[in-house]
Structure 1
Amino acid sequence: MRVKVACVGGGPAGLYLSILLKLRDPSHDITVYERGPEGSTYGWGVTYWRGLLDKLCEHDPVSARVIEESSVRWSEGVAHVRGRTTRRPGDAGYGIGRHRLLEILAERARALDVRLRFEQEITPGNLPAADLVVASDGVNSALRTRHAHHFGTESRAGRNHYIWLGTSKNFEAFTFSFVESGHGWIWCYGYGYGFGPDAGTFVVECAPETWTGLGFDTASEAEALAVLEKIFAGVLDGHSLMGRAGADGKAQWQTFRTLTNRTWYRDNLVLLGDAAHTTHYSIGAGTTLAVEDAAALATALHEHATLPQALAGYQQRRQQELLAVQSAAHYSARWYEDLQRYIHLPPQQMFALLGQRHSPLLPYVPPQLYYRLDRAAGQSQAWRRLKQWIGVRVARTVHARTLASRE
């Protein structure tokens, strides 16, 4: 069906949807509205994996090629624990600056005659006339919030505090560092590509008692960065950290919000990306899920004869596909919240279980026993399928109970 589409939010989800719709039918009338100036964005680098790159190549080889050429790559992980360093090979991972990713997608969208309108804030009171309005305006979506009761929106805050920073250090591998302070453990993940390909992104996390014990609840950004540079001196190698202070001058510490919605559309308004769902940053899936949402919505609009059918099909498909990812994100976040359960293991075992943090079995099996079982199973597909099956079953049960409690 030929449609007039207004995408509210110029992040990866909205931009990629506009690209895919134009590729399917150049006659679609598409405008992307972004409230910020062109080139401005939050965040530093984003991560993705080979599976996403394969999907990008399938959907649009032109933008996929530029994204790959603009990314840095790693194939191993490094963990620093109690003064010891452990390395493990892993799947091919990629990093790209969020600003560079958006630049690539915006250029591609323009080349396909998508209209991009920057510094235009769309609210429920000034919705543009369109057959379809796409709320791709992030976790704080104003369009979703206006109808939160209809969508069945729920938001749950995580326990730990985290902060997203940049650094002048260029990490060659995905790097973890766990440091015991006088107020508990604090850890970081660092990876290549921050504000540029020769810099890095640096995410720091800790429990609430550590956060307050180290004074981060009252420290200015400059004070917080100085403390963090001292704590992680061993992994930063003398490089500096960079933040984005708030209006009060404080560092931008957050607790992660897991957001879900019972329904993803209302009349001609549909949710996309973080406006529809979030998954904990520790699994590095945010960009991947935004792209997959866009591809599913573009396909549904192409395959169904009416808009209601298309939106219903999109919602059903994506909610089903997200079950395994949401399970993995839940257990990954829980692993870090339960760090005391694993941190005193030998570093090699601890790092191996860090790689298994998505498993729904791990919280209920003694860590050293799980480690032995996992090593014995090796690359067994049956073992992998069992863990995934349990995760999906648990996620389905939780989803069903949540729906029942809302009725």
Structure 2
Amino acid sequence: MRVKVACVGGGPAGLYLSILLKLQDPAYEITVHERDPEGSTYGWGVTYWRELLDKLHAHDPVSARAVAESSVRWSEGVAHVRDLATRQPGDTGHGIGRHRLLEILAARARSLGVHLRYEDGITPDTVPDADLVVAADGVHSALRTAHADHFGARLTPGRNRYLWLGTPHVFDSFTFAFVESDHGWIWCYGYAYSPERSTCVIECAPETWTGLGLDRADEAEGLATLEKLFAHVLDGRPLVGRSSGGGAAQWPTFRTLTNRTWHHGNLVLLGDAAHTTHYSIGAGTTLALEDAMALADAVRTHDGLPEALAAYERVRKAALLPAQSAARHSAQWYENLTRYIDLPPERMFALLGQRHSPLLPHVPPQLYYRLDRAAGQLESLRRLKRWLGPRLARTPLG
């Protein structure tokens, strides 16, 4: 019997799941339904780390190689605070254009025989007849909303306003810039996603947003204001918005989504339809792709669909707990920026890197910094002792 899978949503999670299921069983009849035209997408670039690339190589080396070849890399972070800057080495990060990522995954899915249907919006009344229906239709998932009481979705709004932009300025490292305006602090996160383009996310408290007039400005006026504020990190290059019209830019507050359960009959949630984590930890695409890996593995290793979906939910909910905790504390760090911003830049940057810690909000920042440094030195001594131990044992005495 042919197994039919309908994936509603042609983002990274839906496309990658279709690839993995086809690789596991070429007899699967898989259709991805995407409401938007092919090649249209929101956002600019996405970030990921080496660990994800290793997992992609383990599951499908063909698409993994294409993703790696289309990515840019950085190994430093820099923070600008007022007119001071500090730079620190870090783990190697990767950036890839969202459009390019979708292009790679769509081409790979097609090559395996997946049916891709664009401009094919699916509603709860037009759900395809399939053995497995995957709701990969985002945070506002219509398929999830149709069974709202069952899934128990909960949206928790954050405090700060943010705006996702692009720029032709290419950042040479992951860049933070904190600017003090007459109405409070406003900051950006910037990272390259191609040799020609970067993503630039702007964030500020609601009182700064209104004080600067960004709530009332049309898109062109708002971009002009932001370009002046961040000219020192943009090298005078422009910022690019999503719209070419004169309407107001959308400055949402981030909403964290959780669901009580992730499946209902033959319907299962994937990616942002199941969960969201604050953008400041840069894990959204990674977690969505890991969802796809886990769901494909569960389908492969369980004979029955109910058992497979239950196992998928159990595995992913457990795996998400650290990321959700890190994202919650990261968002709170920025919401309480004034607690840290007047530290010397290198100390502020160090605590920026520690923003996932549940202890940081409860310990005076200067004390936390000293304790963290002391703990780091002790760990360095422990590593040195472990390294020297066997060597000293082999060293002749006298």
The TM-score by the shorter chain falls in which range?
over 0.9
Is 1:236 paired with 2:230? no
Q: Give the conservation status (yes or no) of the 8 Å contact 1:245–1:252.
A: no
Q: CA deviation at 1:149?
A: 1.0
One-letter amino acid of the counterpart of residue 91, structure 1:
D
TM-score (norm 1): 0.92
Distance (whole Å) between structure 1 residues aligned to residue 182 and residue 135 of structure 2: 45
Cα distance change on mapping 1:129 and 1:380 into 2, 3 Å: farther
Q: Give the conservation status (yes or no) of the 8 Å contact 1:178–1:188.
A: yes
Q: Give the conservation status (yes or no) of the 8 Å contact 2:220–2:246.
A: no
Is the partner of 2:14 in helix, strand or coil?
helix
Q: What percentage of aligned pairs have identical amino acids?
A: 73
Distance (whole Å) between structure 2 residues aligned to residue 379 and residue 40 of structure 1: 50
Partner of 2:138: 138
Distance (whole Å) between structure 1 residues aligned to residue 107 and residue 183 of structure 2: 48
Partner of 2:394: none
User: What pairs up with 1:6-405 in 2 under 5 angstroms?
Assistant: 6-193=6-193, 196-245=194-243, 249-378=247-376
Q: Give the conservation status (yes or no) of the 8 Å contact 1:71–1:197.
A: no
Deviations 1:234-281 (A, max 9, x none): 111110000013977111211101000000000000000000000000
Q: Give the conservation status (yes or no) of the 8 Å contact 1:140–1:275.
A: yes
Q: CA deviation at 1:4?
A: 1.0
Deviations 1:98-120 (A, max 9, x none): 00000000000001100000000
Q: CA deviation at 1:80?
A: 0.4
**Structure 2: stretches of 5+ with no match in the other structure:** 381-398
Is the partner of 2:207 in helix, strand or coil?
helix
Q: Give the conservation status (yes or no) of the 8 Å contact 2:219–2:246.
A: no
**Structure 1: stretches of 5+ with no match in the other structure:** 383-407
Partner of 2:390: none
Q: Give the conservation status (yes or no) of the 8 Å contact 1:301–1:311.
A: yes
Q: CA deviation at 1:173?
A: 0.3
Q: CA deviation at 1:197?
A: 3.2
Cα distance change on mapping 1:63 and 1:364 into 2, 3 Å: same
Is the partner of 2:213 in helix, strand or coil?
coil
Deviates more, 1:156-165 or 1:248-257: 248-257
Q: Give the conservation status (yes or no) of the 8 Å contact 1:244–1:252.
A: no
Q: CA deviation at 1:67?
A: 0.3
Q: Give the conservation status (yes or no) of the 8 Å contact 1:124–1:142.
A: yes
Partner of 1:396: none
Q: Give the conservation status (yes or no) of the 8 Å contact 2:35–2:121.
A: yes
Is the partner of 1:287 in helix, strand or coil?
helix
Cα distance change on mapping 1:381 and 1:147 into 2, 3 Å: farther
Q: CA deviation at 1:381?
A: 7.1
One-letter amino acid of the counterpart of residue 145, structure 2:
T
Distance (whole Å) between structure 1 residues aligned to residue 287 and residue 213 of structure 2: 35
Distance (whole Å) between structure 2 residues aligned to residue 273 and residue 247 of structure 1: 31
Cα distance change on mapping 1:2 and 1:279 into 2, 3 Å: farther
Q: Give the conservation status (yes or no) of the 8 Å contact 1:246–1:252.
A: no
Is the partner of 1:241 in helix, strand or coil?
coil
Partner of 2:393: none
Distance (whole Å) between structure 2 residues aligned to residue 82 and residue 222 of structure 1: 25
Deviations 1:137-190 (A, max 9, x none): 000110011111110100011000000000010111000100000000000011
One-letter amino acid of the counterpart of residue 156, structure 1:
T
Q: CA deviation at 1:379?
A: 7.5
In the comparison of the two structures, how many residue pairs are matched?
A: 380
Q: CA deviation at 1:2?
A: 6.0
Is the partner of 1:219 in helix, strand or coil?
coil
Deviations 1:181-205 (A, max 9, x none): 0000000011002xx5311110000
Cα distance change on mapping 1:27 and 1:91 into 2, 3 Å: same
Q: Give the conservation status (yes or no) of the 8 Å contact 1:175–1:190.
A: yes
One-letter amino acid of the counterpart of residue 155, structure 2:
S
Cα distance change on mapping 1:237 and 1:270 into 2, 3 Å: same
Distance (whole Å) between structure 1 residues aligned to residue 164 and residue 241 of structure 2: 7
Q: CA deviation at 1:3?
A: 2.4
